[in-house]
Amino acid sequence: MGKKKGSKKGGKKKGSGKKKEGSAGTVVRAGPTQLELTLRLELQTLEQQLQNAKRDTEDARMQNEYLHEEVERTQQQNHEYEAYIEKKSDHEKGLVDAMTDDHARQLEAIESDRTHLHLETESIKKDLRDKISVREEELSKTLNEIDNMADIQKKRDDQQSEISRLEAEIEMRQRQHFEELQGLKSNFLSDKLEFQDNAHVQVTTLSEQAEQEAVSCLMKHAQEIKTENKNLRTRLLALMSSNKQMGKQETDIDNQNAELRRQLELNSQLIKIGNLKLGNSNLTTTST
């Protein structure tokens, strides 16, 4: 039954086609539909988009290759720069280490010089202190001697006053002796004239006795004056010798004072020089 239906349908189509061709005489083609036009337009748009996408892809690929090359070149430059920096760092580190060692040696030398200079300065200070102590003792002794010079000068003035008094006393004694001699002569002449009035013999006797007594008295008095003058002269010579010795002591003390002043001035200069050396050493150490 199925076969019969199919054969009938096929027979109908074939018969109808033949009937069309027989009726028109020519083949008539239908125009593009709206759907086809729309699809063609969409296809052109897609093709255009595809071309644009290919072009963009090619640009992106070329830019990507350029970026890859730029990255590789940058990495290469970075490697070279890192190697240069590492080499330079090693060189700088070597220089720093060398300078550090050099500075350490210089500091050790400076510290050694500073220690040596400190010891030398301390030794100089000790010597100066010892010298100053000795000079101070000498100065104290000299000042005591200078203080004693006031007593010596007073004693010298007293001795000079004593010498002046003794000289005045000697002059007075000589004047008294001369006056006494004149008085004795005058008395002798008076007695002689008086006795001459009484008796020539008695006058002669008394004259002789008076002359003898006068001569004896004069000789005795002269001897006493000579002795006293000798004693006074001895005392005067002793005082003059003492004054001369004190003058020499005063001259010696003045010379010692001048020498001490010179030594003190020299010590002061030495102390200033020692302080200056110490100041320069501290300044050099501080600046270092």
For 21-37, write each residue's pLDDT tens digit.
444 445 455 677 888 89
Q: Is residue 31 part of a domain?
A: no
| 182/256 same-domain check | yes
Q: What's the confidence (pLDDT) of residue 232? A: 81
Distance CA 133, CA 184 (A): 73
| 184/51 same-domain check | no
Q: What's the confidence (pLDDT) of residue 53? A: 92
Q: Tell whether the model's pLDDT for residue 181 goes beyond 70.
A: yes
| 92/198 same-domain check | no
The H-or-E segment that residue 223 falls in is helix 200-287
The two tokens of residue 180 are 């006494």
| 277/149 same-domain check | yes
Per the structure, the complete domain to which residue 74 belongs is given by 42-120
Q: Is residue 126 part of a domain?
A: no
| pLDDT classification of 219: cutoffs 50, 70, 90 | confident
What's the predicted TM-score (pTM) here?
A: 0.29
Per the listing, tokens 């202190």 go with 129
| CB crowding 160-177: b at 16 or more within 10 Å, else e | eeebeebeeebeebeeeb
Chosen domain end from 75, 93, 120: 120
Chosen domain end from 120, 153, 179: 120
| 100/227 same-domain check | no
DSSP state of 33: P
Q: How many domains does the chain have?
A: 2
The two tokens of residue 247 are 């003058």
Chosen domain end from 62, 92, 120: 120
Question: Mean pLDDT over all residues of the chain?
Answer: 77
**Under 8 Å CB-to-CB from 167, ≥6 apart: which residues?**
236
Most confident of 77-81, 101-105, 147-151, 257-261: 77-81
Q: What's the confidence (pLDDT) of residue 283? A: 62
Q: What's the confidence (pLDDT) of residue 174? A: 78
Tell me the pLDDT tens digit for each residue of 115-158. Answer: 888 888 888 888 888 888 887 888 888 777 777 777 777 777 88
For residues 140 and 2, the model is more confident at: 140
Residue 82's SS3 state is helix
For residues 78 and 281, the model is more confident at: 78
Q: What's the confidence (pLDDT) of residue 19? A: 41
**Cα–chain center distance at 191:** 103
The two tokens of residue 218 are 């004069």
Q: Tell whether the model's pLDDT for residue 47 goes beyond 90.
A: yes
Q: What's the confidence (pLDDT) of residue 7? A: 40
The two tokens of residue 167 are 């000289």
For residues 213 and 80, the model is more confident at: 80
Q: Tell whether the model's pLDDT for residue 272 goes beyond 80.
A: no
**Under 8 Å CB-to-CB from 232, ≥6 apart: which residues?**
166, 169, 170
| 96/160 same-domain check | no
| 106/158 same-domain check | no
